Amino acid sequence: MLLQRDNDLATDDMLMIVHTASAFLKHDRFQQHFIGHDLTYKLLDVVSRLSPASETLASQPDLLSIGQDPDEDILSSLLKAATEILTDISAISTFAQKYTIDSALVDSLNQWLVSQQQQKQICSCLMLGNLAQSDPVCREMVNRLGLHDRLLDILEDQRHPQASYAALGFLRNLALPAENKPTIGTQRTVEIIARFWSHDVNQQIQHASVALIRQLLNNCIGNVRWLLESLSPDPESPAHEKTYMSLLLLLFGRTDDAATKFETGRTVATICRCISTSAQGLPPESTEAIWHRLYGLHHDIARPLAMMISQSRFPVLRSEGWFALALMARSEEGSAAVSEVFQQLEAFGVLVSTITGQSPTSERPATGNTMSSESNGSDRSPEQAQKMKDKDRENALVLVNELLRHTVSSEFLFLE
């Protein structure tokens, strides 16, 4: 009924049918039938037909507030259910095999990205994001179709949080191949993403935006430079001494979301690794200039890393933090930044315990939904866990030696 373009079908009946279809499509047999018989187009047509009505109702809050339009909730539920089915179906390998990047379906979803209806944008981002699971496909989507530009247009709008969140996830997939990072990571990209850090927006969106930046910075020194660009080109402006990285560090200090804080720390660690790795292919003066800009304009750059090493729930995060701090301490400016965070009793206690092997009373567990179970290191064997601790101790000792070499301080002398 629903898939036969029956315009007289009541929305509540349509909702019941879609929910029933959703239950059936949990099973492989029905999924393959759905894909094999091109029923995806039929369900996309449902979303296309109902989106305008949903947008119209959503734009009339005076009517909704007094309950004069009961269809609004039904339409919203129907669109959500249909989108969930399409998202689940598009994640199946058979779907990607049938609908290649040159298919009419991908072309239709591409057009939905520029639609004024946010439900179409959301559906397109989720489905195309599921298709963007291999480097060749991601490269084609960026270099030939230019989908990243359309996603940036969605993010620049910022009126629809759900569309922004879906676009951030899709763009992060596109940023995985190394070849795509310089293409996506332009000044415009950094400016648009940084706006999510300057305003009080949904925490999930802020976390996703930081995760996207971290992905773009990974082994891409050009994008690191963009993040360290001044907010104003005018030397007389106070904003000239502030960078996009400054905005990220302000977000770190302002947010109470642990996931965003840890993602910020991982971003700092990614920057340190990227600069160190790129040093092999850059003139020494160029590398030194990047380090100088990182430390000179961001005196609190080590704070996110201190949070990473001061928690016990995620060993992988903790090890990542120790490695980045040891990298920082290799230079005089970096040692000064690192030394500052270890003036705090909690961080200093963690340093001592990591070297001596004694558990600090100040170490705190992480809170919040910060990492997936497959990446947090909690499922490692005792032998693996001990190797991680040994590596942390090694990095902590390197850090102390560098601190003593650059900024000899009585607080660290007893550790020699």
8 Å CB contact between 257 and 211: no
Angle at 131 between CA 126 and CA 134, to 5 degrees: 130
pLDDT at 66: 42
For helices 118-131 and 147-157, angle between their N-to-C axes, nearest 10 degrees: 140
DSSP track, 165-186 = HHHHHHHHHHT-STTHHHHH--
**Max CA pair span of the chain:** 82
Instruction: Identify the DSSP state of 145.
Output: S
pLDDT at 361: 55
8 Å CB contact between 126 and 166: yes
pLDDT at 1: 42
d(CA 249, CA 254): 9
Q: What is the pLDDT tens value at each position of the chain, 416 positions in all?
A: 444 444 555 666 766 777 787 777 888 888 899 999 999 998 999 899 888 765 554 555 444 444 445 466 777 888 888 899 999 999 999 999 999 999 999 999 999 999 999 999 999 999 999 999 999 999 999 999 999 999 999 999 988 999 999 999 999 999 999 999 999 999 999 999 999 998 778 999 999 999 999 999 999 999 999 999 999 999 999 999 999 999 999 999 999 999 999 999 999 999 999 999 987 777 878 899 999 999 999 999 999 999 999 998 999 999 999 999 999 999 999 999 999 999 887 889 999 999 998 876 555 555 555 554 345 555 678 888 899 999 999 999 999 999 998 864 545 544 44
Angle at 176 between CA 202 and CA 380, to 5 degrees: 80
d(CA 208, CA 197): 11
8 Å CB contact between 21 and 85: yes
pLDDT at 387: 92
**98, two tokens:** 């049938």
d(CA 249, CA 302): 10
Phi, psi of 370, rounded to the nearest 5 degrees = -100, -35
Report the predicted TM-score, pTM, of the whole model to 2 decimal places. Answer: 0.88
